[in-house]
Amino acid sequence: MNKFEKNIKDAVESYEAPYSAEAWQSLNKAMGPSKATLLKWAASSAALLALVVFGYSYINNSNEVVTDKLIADTIQNKESKALILNVENSVYDTDGQLINENLSTTDSDLSLISEANTPIETTATDESNITESSTETKNNSEELTPKDESNATVVKEDKKENTNTTVSLKAKVIASSTTQCLSSEFNFTPSVPKQNAIYEWHLGDGTIITGSTINYTYDVAGHYSVELVLRDLNTKEIIKTSPPVEITVLEEPSTSFTYEMANTIEPSTYFTNTTPTASNVHWEIENLKSSNLENIEYSFKHKGRFTVKLTATNENGCSTTCSKTITIEQDYNLLAPTAFSPNGDNLNDYFMPKALPLIELPFTLTIYDRQGKLMYQTTDSSQPWDGINTQDGIPAENGIYVWVCQLTKENGETEVYQSQIVIAK
Amino acid sequence: MENKQELKIIVEGCVKGKRKYQKKLFELFYGKMMGVCLRYAKNSDEAKDMVQNGFIKVFAKLNVYNFSGSLEGWIRRIMVNTAIDQIRKNKKDPFSIDDDARFKNLEEDIPFDTEEAQKEIKIKAEKAIKAIRELSPAYQTVFNLYVIEGYTHKEIAEYLNISEGTSKSNLAKAKQKLRTLLG
């Protein structure tokens, strides 16, 4: 981006139009009646709970509401029962010294008092303590409650019927990643694990999996909404559904290639990338060759089985690998014959690997007998061996001889071929 | 800007549909988003419409906002989408036609406030926004998306359903026009 563009961008980005109350009025009107007005009670209590979660110490100021709400929740959930007890105790704690008189009999009761004085969020997460104290102090709390004659008990009765959902459970999806390639596994975790509920994951493709934390790999690329549904352990009714988390599963290339062997002078295998949507490819032929070219060619010199891998990457950055095993039937030996008959009958009287005159590369061909004695050497493909020992001028006897050819390739590399040749006059 | 926790409370309030929190969110982001929409709109009335429709979408979708990115960035993307949808609705093939006719009929009704203290810095932005708005819709949108929003030509082409070539040439022409207007 040049300076001119950047100047405009900087100027424009920092710009803020003056606030317009009129604009809000208009929007307010356009949105119609507030959802909150319609669901006043539910929303306000939910908002209050949200505040509690964020550590706002509204408990002391609005004892009644919080306590009422939590009492209502008891019906659903043991854990919140513990919560209520603590809240109620703290109510008394702030109102007067009642707690000490009522709860000072045993050690466990004393521990409860200290619990009761800690903030709600701490007690809520400390599960083991809560369940203990909730069973031990149930009676105490029942004694305590009626003492608040003014309103707590009355409200408790009222709200029992109204509350069908428990807002105290938290359902929020934490995804390991929101965008991944098709074959990668997604990991979904609840923001709050181990609540008293069945964790049911709706993965957006019709799959439903139950479990506290799950891993899942989608079958088809696309966009999915993942939701966590909390169900009651006993009634199996839905207690809470998380906001959906939108995830994107990216298309992967369907990597493929073809190959073709051509047995010309030098055996070549041609590999062709046939991936429809590859923006990048990488070839790997065992330890022999690697390349980023679209199509490649390789000459296998030795027989055997070779693994060829093509990794294609598409524009999403997703990649997959296709691998094939190539079988090479024969070593490549410059198309050399395995025997000749230097007997002057004009049939197979000379030895020269057939490829050498054709490929026109500089070479040195050396022939030894089985004892390793030099018989013949040439760098000229028009000078084949006639079967005569150049050291002493005597024709070589029938038998097995060894030839070694050192070839210098176009790129300066040296290749060495060797094999045996049989003289059979 | 408000701190993160306050934002979270505001967002949760909005998700619950509480008008009070919606108003708060609106107050927080109206200025910035009006700035964004002014660049896409052809006049301030259209920009106001875009902002209003954008906020309605924001409130409807806030429940999927997961606090992973900046809230402002998230709202801004919705605004840009809304603005482009609106331009699309108002005109057939708005992004591929080089409509130069509009250059001759400029509106001069930008309601910028020119408070003494902020005058100097604001005039620069105003001037730039005004110049961008003087571009034809085809140029204007590509310039906004490419230079300010940071999209690639490929993305713009897909988004506006034009060719990459058109996107590039519109950008080049937009820059040329802006140079004349601002230079």
Mean pLDDT, to the nearest integer, of A119-130? 38
- pLDDT exceeds cutoff 50 at A68: no
Q: Measured between alpha carbons, how far is residue B63 from residues B15, B59, B66 in Å? A: 6, 8, 8
Cα–Cα distance for residue pair B4/B10, rounded to 1 Å: 10
B34 pLDDT more than 80 = yes
Q: Is the CB of residue A26 less than 8 Å away from at least one CB of chain B?
A: yes
Residue A81 above 60 pLDDT? no
A35·B113 Cβ contact <8 A: no
From CA A113, how far away is CA A111, in angstroms rounded? 5
**Are A17 and B55 in contact (CB < 8 Å)?**
no
A47 lies within 8 A of chain B by CB: yes
Query: pLDDT value at position A5?
Result: 79
- For residues A385 and A391, give the distance between their C-alpha atoms in angstroms, rounded to a whole number: 13
Per-residue pLDDT at B131: 87
Region of A275 on the Ramachandran plot (φ > 0 left; ψ -120 to 50 alpha; else beta): beta
- Which of A7, A10, A15, A34 to mutate to probe the B interface, most B CBs <10 Å? A15
Of residues B22 and B67, more confidence is placed in B22
CA distance A230 to chain B (A): 17
Taking CB atoms and an 8 Å cutoff, what residues of chain A touch B51?
Answer: 23
Q: Which range scores top for mean pLDDT: A129-143, A239-253, B112-126? A: A239-253
Query: Closest Cα to residue B55, out of B36, B82, B73?
Result: B82
Mean pLDDT of all residues in A177-194: 90
Taking the Cβ of residue A212 and every Cβ of chain B, the question of whether any pair is shorter than 8 Å is answered with no
Q: Round the average pLDDT of chain A to a whole number and report it.
A: 74
Q: What is the pLDDT of residue A308?
A: 94
Q: How far is CA B87 from CA A325, B47, B136, in A?
A: 56, 11, 12
Task: Compute the average pLDDT of residues B76-103.
Answer: 70
Contacts of A26 in chain B (CB under 8 A): 48, 52
Residues A17, B35: C-beta atoms closer than 8 Å: yes
Give the best-scoring range by mean pLDDT among A85-94, A217-226, A328-337, B86-95: A217-226
Contact B22, B14 (CB under 8 A): yes
Q: What is the pLDDT of residue A200?
A: 92
Q: Are B100 and B136 in contact (CB under 8 A)?
A: yes
Say whether A31 and B13 touch across the interface (CB within 8 A): no
Its ipTM equals 0.75
pLDDT in tens, A83-104: 333 433 333 444 334 444 444 3
Chain A residues close to B26, C-beta within 8 Å: 23-24, 27
Task: Give whole-number Cα distances, A345 to A349, A395, B156, in Å.
Answer: 7, 15, 80
Residues of B in contact with A243 (CB under 8 A): 15, 63-64, 66
* Residue in B127, B165, B150 with CA at minimum distance from that of residue B39: B127
Cα(A13)–Cα(A6) distance, rounded to whole angstroms?
10
CB contact under 8 A, A23 and B30: yes
Residue A412 predicted with pLDDT over 70: yes
Q: What is the pLDDT of residue A312?
A: 92
Q: Which range among A327-336, A414-423, B81-90, B128-137 has the greatest average pLDDT? A: A414-423
A14 contact B CB<8A: yes
Closest alpha carbon to A175 in A166, A165, A167, A184: A184
Residues of chain B contacting A15 with CB distance shorter than 8 Å: 35, 122, 125-126, 129
Q: What is the pLDDT of residues A134-150, one digit of tens each?
A: 434 444 444 444 444 44
What pLDDT is stored for residue A414 in this prediction?
Answer: 86
pLDDT tens track for A314-337: 888 888 999 999 988 888 888 889
Confidence of residue A113 (pLDDT cuts 50, 70, 90): very low
Q: How many CA atoms lie within 13 A of A93 on its CB side?
A: 17
CB-CB neighbors (< 8 A) of B128 in chain A: 7-8, 11-12
Residues with Cβ within 8 Å of B41's Cβ and at least 6 positions away in sequence, in order, are B47, B49, B50, B83, B133
Q: CA A184, A186, A192 angle in degrees (round to 5)?
A: 165
Residue A396 has pLDDT above 50, yes or no: yes
| Nearest in space to B73 (alpha carbons), one of B40, B33, B107 | B33
Nearest to B183 by CA among A22, A7, A152: A7
- Each residue's pLDDT tens digit, B145-160: 998 888 889 888 888 8
Mean pLDDT within A277-285: 88
For residue A15, CA distances in Å to B39, B51, B110 come to 11, 15, 14
Smallest Cα–Cα separation from B71: which of B141, B172, B3? B3
Phi, psi (deg, nearest 5) at residue B107: -95, 150
Nearest to A278 by CA among A256, A306, A304: A256
- pLDDT of A133: 39
> At residue A252, does pLDDT exceed 50?
yes
Say yes or no to pLDDT of A43 above 60.
no
Q: Is the pLDDT of residue A40 over 90?
A: no
User: Among B6, B17, B23, which residue's Cα sits nearest to residue B62?
Assistant: B17
Q: Which residue has the higher pLDDT, B123 or B58?
A: B58
pLDDT at A177 over 80: yes
- The SS3 call for residue A390 is coil
What lies within 8 Å, CB to CB, of A21 at 6+ separation is none
Buried b (16+ CB within 10 A) or exposed e, B39-57: bbbbebebbbbbbbbbbbb
Asked if A21 has any chain B CB less than 8 Å from its own CB, the reply is no
**What is d(CA A418, CA A404) in angstroms, rounded to the nearest whole number?**
4
Contact A255/A310 with Cβ under 8 angstroms?
A: yes
In eight-state DSSP terms, residue B147 is I
* Interacting residues of A395 by C-beta distance below 8 A, sequence separation 6+: A342, A387, A388, A389
Residue B77 touches chain A, beta carbons under 8 Å: no
Give the number of other CB atoms < 10 A from CB of residue B168.
Answer: 15
A232 pLDDT above the threshold of 70: yes
- Structure-token pair, residue A323: 């691998």
Average pLDDT, chain B: 79
| CB interface of B with A, residues 91-130, below 8 Å | 112-113, 121-122, 124-129
Lowest mean pLDDT among A146-155, A348-357, B144-153: A146-155
Closest listed residue to residue A89, CA positions, set A140, A146, A156: A140
In this prediction, residues A203-232 reach a mean pLDDT of 91
Minimal CA separation from B99 to chain A, in Å: 22
CA B160 – CA B145 distance, rounded (Å): 10
For residue A160, pLDDT over 60 is answered with: no
Cα dihedral B47→B53→B54→B56 (10° resolution): 150
Phi/psi of residue A123, each to 5°? -65, -35
Could you give the CA distance from residue A58 to residue A81 in angstroms, rounded to a whole number? 20
Q: What confidence category does residue A153 fall into, taking pLDDT thresholds of 50, 70 and 90?
A: very low
Judge whether A53 is closer than 8 Å to chain B, CB to CB.
no
The residue-averaged pLDDT of A40-67 equals 50
Task: Say what the pLDDT of residue B55 is.
Answer: 94
How many CB atoms neighbour CB A61 within 10 A? 11
Single out the residue of B101, B96, B175, B176 nearest to residue B143, CA to CA: B175
Cross-chain Cβ contact B27/A24 below 8 Å:
yes
Q: For residue A29, give the amino acid letter.
A: K
pLDDT at B111 over 50: no
* Strand-strand pairing, A339-340 and A414-423: parallel
| Torsion of the alpha carbons at A106, A112, A113 and A118, rounded to the nearest 10 | 160
On the question of pLDDT at A343 being above 70, the answer is yes
Residue A400, pLDDT above cutoff 50: yes
Compute the distance between CA of residue A132 and CA of residue B139 in angstroms, rounded to an integer: 69
Report residue A218's pLDDT band, with 50, 70 and 90 as the boundaries: very high
